[in-house]
């Protein structure tokens, strides 16, 4: 039996709680502030390579990051900045990787969203979509072999990524092995420029979960309270031993694929639709409506976020860049073998 809890209505949900909602909002705010700074650094020519932002994805991502505990596994995708920060990735790691600091976790060898700390269960994504799902499966599989329990692993995929063979293979694998995987599908209506009508023909991406014997959960990704409730439930079920869970969340990406992309292909009607609403603005309004924060308070949080980001950027701008003459140009960790292979 595959429970499909997609039909649960907004009315039957428990009301949001002040503390987790506020916490998530602040991570969203920090992520948006950092994204805005990265965009302006890109325009100023201070960042080499691509800049990929998470505008519009913050509610979903922050909900994931906060639902995870130390010891859980997280393989974020390109628009998961809010989730990364909530999971514990320092702002310093983000800025160092985008700006190519030699002191960052990737030391200039990889950039922008391709960062992580595998030893701390934050896995660095590769560009090939769907490829991280089975890697998360592997970490979970190994932990079970070591008789550990109580952990979950989470990764994100987009609407386009659900068309890959890797997605199919890995979700099926997780179901067969009954792994505590929570797969977040961020259906942001476009895979780069390709609309969902050219991506899949099923009624709803949640239907794909049924085919694998995986429980699915639907969420409105513009609604922070809904995201927290749905993601929290999915993570809880995986943690309690109910096997892999898939969350399908709908939203509209509020930026280009990267900062090089003006997203002119987005149907203007979608921008005016419920999916086109800005989750950060909605969450802020919700805070004010509930009387959980005053406008002045939100403003001071925003100011705090700006100051944190500015301080980190100022620090990283003074840091050394990687030195090709000091670089260790060996790809093997077995040093004795790397030495056998002469480089020309």
Partner 1 sequence: MSITYLEAIREAQARALADDPRVFIYGQDVGTFGGAFKATKNLMKEYPGRVLDATLSEDAIVGLAVGAAIEGMRPIVEMQFADFSTVGLNQIVNQAATLFWRTQVPCPIVVRLPSGGTSGSGPFHSQSLESVYAYWPGLVVLTPATVEDAYSMLLEAIALDDPVIFCEHKLLYYHLKADRLPTEALPVGKARIARQGRDLTIVAYSAMVHEALAAAEELAPEGSQIEVVDLRSIRPLDTDTVVASVARTGRLLCVGEAWPWGGVTAEVIARVASEGFGLFDAPPQRLNAKDTPIPFHPHLWAAHRPTARSVAAAARKLLRQ
Are the C-beta atoms of residues 153 and 181 closer than 8 Å to each other?
yes
Shortest distance (Å) from residue 152 CB to partner 1: 14
Of 82 and 181, the one with the shorter C-beta distance to partner 1 is 181
Q: List the beta bridge partners of residue 246.
A: 183, 216
Give me the 58-87 binding string for partner 1, x by CB under 8 A, dash otherwise. Answer: ------------------------------
Give the contacts of 159 (CB within 8 A, at least 6 positions apart).
185, 186, 187, 188, 189, 190, 191, 196, 199, 200, 205
Q: Is 344 in the site for partner 1 (CB under 8 A)?
A: yes
CA dist., res. 280 & res. 32, Å (int): 8
Stretch that binds partner 1, among 79-87, 198-206, 217-225, 328-336 (CB under 8 A): 328-336
Residues 6+ apart with CB under 8 A from 90: none
Query: Of 166 and 282, which has the nearer Cβ to partner 1?
Result: 166
Residues 276-305 contacting partner 1, CB under 8 A: none
Establish how many alpha carbons lie within 13 A of residue 320's alpha carbon, considering only the half-sphere containing its beta carbon. Answer: 8
Among 124, 195, 258, 322, binds partner 1 (CB under 8 A): 124
Best CA proximity match to 133, nearest among 236, 32, 214, 196: 214
Report the C-alpha gap between 275 and 266 in whole angstroms: 12
CB of 205 to partner 1, least distance (A): 19
Number of helices followed by number of strands (H, E) in the chain? 12, 7
Tell me the C-alpha distance between 225 and 231, whole Å. Answer: 10
Based on CB atoms, which residue is closest to partner 1, 99 or 224? 99
Q: Is 163 near partner 1 (CB under 8 A)? A: no
Q: Does 1 bind partner 1 (CB under 8 A)?
A: no
The CA–CA distances, whole Å, from 310 to 24, 80, 91, 316 equal 21, 21, 11, 10
The only residue of 140, 230, 247, 248 in contact with partner 1, by rule CB under 8 A = 140
**Distances in whole angstroms, Cα of residue 25 to Cα of each of 198, 228, 280, 305:** 34, 11, 7, 12
Residues contacting partner 1: total by CB under 8 A:
47
166 near partner 1, rule: CB under 8 A: yes
Under rule CB under 8 A, residue 211 binds partner 1: no
Q: How far is the CB of 344 from partner 1 (least distance, A)?
A: 8
The nearest distance, CB 327 to partner 1, in angstroms, is 11
Q: Which residues bind partner 1 (CB under 8 A)?
A: 105-106, 109-110, 114, 116-119, 123-124, 126-128, 131-143, 145-146, 165-166, 169-170, 172-173, 176, 331-334, 336-338, 340-342, 344
């Amino acid at each position: 039996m595959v429970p499909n809890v997609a039909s649960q209505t907004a009315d039957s949900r428990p009301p949001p709680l002040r503390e987790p909602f506020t916490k998530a909002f602040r991570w969203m705010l920090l992520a948006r502030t950092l994204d805005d700074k990265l965009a302006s650094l890109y325009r100023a020519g201070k960042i080499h390579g691509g800049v990929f932002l998470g505008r519009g994805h913050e509610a979903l991502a922050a909900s994931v990051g906060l639902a995870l505990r130390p010891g859980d596994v997280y393989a974020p995708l390109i628009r998961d900045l809010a989730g990364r920060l909530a999971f514990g990735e320092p702002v310093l790691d983000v800025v160092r990787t985008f700006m190519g600091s030699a002191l960052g976790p990737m030391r200039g060898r990889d950039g922008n969203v391709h960062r992580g700390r595998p030893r701390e269960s934050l896995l660095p994504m590769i560009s090939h979509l769907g490829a991280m799902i089975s890697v998360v499966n592997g970490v979970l599989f190994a932990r079970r072999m070591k008789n550990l329990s109580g952990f979950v692993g989470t990764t994100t995929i987009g609407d386009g990524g659900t068309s890959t063979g890797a997605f199919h293979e890995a979700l099926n694998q997780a179901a067969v092995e009954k792994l505590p995987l929570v797969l977040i599908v961020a259906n942001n209506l476009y895979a780069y420029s390709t609309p969902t009508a050219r991506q899949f023909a099923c009624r709803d991406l949640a239907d794909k979960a049924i085919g694998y014997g995986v429980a699915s959960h639907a969420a409105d990704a513009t609604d922070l309270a809904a995201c927290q409730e749905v993601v929290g439930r999915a993570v809880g079920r995986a943690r309690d031993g109910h096997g892999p869970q898939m969350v399908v969340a709908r939203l509209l990406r509020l930026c280009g694929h990267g900062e090089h992309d003006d997203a002119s292909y987005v149907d203007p009607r979608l921008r005016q639709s419920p999916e086109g609403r800005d989750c950060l603005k909605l969450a802020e309004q919700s805070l004010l409506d509930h009387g959980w924060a005053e406008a002045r308070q939100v403003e001071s949080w925003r100011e705090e976020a700006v100051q944190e980001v500015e301080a980190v950027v100022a620090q990283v701008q003074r840091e050394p860049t990687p030195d090709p003459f000091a670089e260790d140009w060996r790809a093997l960790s077995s040093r004795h073998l790397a030495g056998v292979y002469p480089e020309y």
